[in-house]
Amino acid sequence: MNTETLQINIESPIATVTLNRPNVLNAFNEQLVLDLQQAFKNLTEDESVRVIILTGSGKGFSAGADLTEREASWDPDCPSKDALLRGYMPIFNNIVEMPKIVIAAINGPAAGIGAALAMACDLRVMTKSSYILSVFSNIALVPDGGLNWLLTRFLGYAKALEFAIEAKKIDSQMCLDFGIANKVVEDNKLLEETYSWANSLAKRSPQALSNTKRLMRDSLSKSYFDTFKQEAEIQNEIFGSSEHREAVQAFFEKRQPKFD
């Protein structure tokens, strides 16, 4: 299931998607954008997959957009806008909307649109030497890919502005301190540790994971009592389901539940 720019490995219930342009630190050209769109669409529809790991080959997660690309199909009158809305947005939308957990395994730099992609994932594991970088101001541009929203949510306005306008690295320890990173591991343990965590999550109730993801994503734009009501509706839908019954029975039988 590999493409020109991606390596995709599925060992159900876990899929690993690896950005595979290591010679340019996995910088995004149009082909990588389109391949990643299709990969996430396929994985959303693949019922055997419950958790997805997204990582980069070689020495980095992604250096951002490939500034050396000369030929692409983006609208010549507004190439940046077209690339963001027609190219990247469907990828980010799939990550946010899919009822599966997406873990970014960040090796080396996650810069520019690569930083936005990593931060749009549900969870993040970073190596000690990895970092997030909003590099846009170095080329007289503003952060994009939703990075203004993401950085401000995690860091607060003042710190987010500082790191964005000065294009300063947010190292893995700071990412851990601010809640951007869930875990920081040794450089040579990234995929091993991430896969172990993904495997543990994949054994949990799919309906609990998918609905909790949905509730918490939605809560970012809802009031407290709107979320309260949404919780009540979803709880009503899944209470008494086969997964709920299995989990309750396993609790009383002091064993791990098994979800088909």
Same domain assignment for residues 81 and 179: yes
pLDDT tier at 70, thresholds 50, 70, 90: confident
Which of 32, 41, 44 has the alpha carbon at shortest distance from 7? 32
> Is 260 part of any domain?
no
The confidence score (pLDDT) of residue 71 equals 86
> Is 259 part of any domain?
no
The confidence score (pLDDT) of residue 15 equals 98
- Tell me: the pLDDT tens digits for 103-153? 999 999 999 999 999 999 999 999 999 999 999 999 999 999 999 999 999
**Structure pTM?**
0.96
> Of 160, 186, 202, which residue constitutes the final position of a domain?
202
Same domain assignment for residues 111 and 211: no
Cα–Cα distance list, 112 to 39, 123, 148, 154, 243 (Å): 21, 18, 11, 16, 40
Nearest-angstrom CA–CA distance, 42 and 156: 35
- Tell me: the pLDDT tens digits for 6-63? 999 999 999 999 999 999 999 999 999 999 999 999 999 999 999 999 999 999 999 9
Residue 260 has pLDDT above 90, yes or no: no
Same domain assignment for residues 56 and 88: yes
Domains of the chain: total: 2
Residue 194 has pLDDT above 90, yes or no: yes
- Residues whose CB falls within 8 Å of the CB of residue 107, separated by 6 or more in sequence, listed in order: 55, 56, 59, 60, 61, 127, 130, 187, 190
CATH code, 70: 3.90.226.10
The confidence score (pLDDT) of residue 88 equals 97
Domain extent for 225: 206-252
Q: Are 49 and 13 in contact (CB under 8 A)?
A: yes
Same domain assignment for residues 182 and 67: yes
